[in-house]
Amino acid sequence: MTDNAFSMITPLPGPAPEVTISKDLVRRGLIVAPLIIAICGAIWGMDGALSSAYAIGLVLLNFAFAAALIATTARIGLGLMMGAILFGYLMRLALIFLAVYLVKDTAWISLPALGATIIVTHLGLLFWEMKFVAISLAHPALKPARP
């Protein structure tokens, strides 16, 4: 076998930067959640507020599940991690679809609020997090705090 074949089954030891980043995303999501819920409540009423809270929960669970999937499979092997990233993305999309499909006809849901919150929260948190992620091998997760 070649070195490339061995590198695909090699586990990645050490800390998992994706877990650190995911925890930071969830923390920021919880900080901004009351504002998003209030805005949706002002626009769509109580149904909008409840839908927004449900959507924020979906988004935060999505980020946490993605990080857990990557961190777990990286310790087993790179090939498994790459497969888990690809198929995990499809699985997470399917879970979000299922979560929306199950509540779409309930009385307390506002589909515009739910959809807007899912999209805005995903993108907003990712763009917000870009400011705090270190793109460096020296600090592979969040940028170190300045003294």
CB atoms within 10 A of CB 24: 18
Task: Please give the pLDDT value at position 4.
Answer: 56
pLDDT at 21: 85
Under 8 Å between Cβ of 48 and 40:
yes
Give pTM, 2 decimals.
0.83
CA angle 125, 60, 100 (to 5 degrees): 110
Q: Give 142's strand partners.
A: 133
Q: How far is CA 105 from CA 48, 108, 109, in A?
A: 14, 9, 7
For residue 78, the model assigns a pLDDT of 83
Per-position pLDDT tens, the chain of length 147: 455 555 666 766 667 788 888 888 999 999 999 999 999 999 999 999 999 999 999 999 999 999 999 888 888 888 888 899 999 999 999 999 999 999 999 999 999 999 999 999 999 999 988 888 777 666 666 666 666
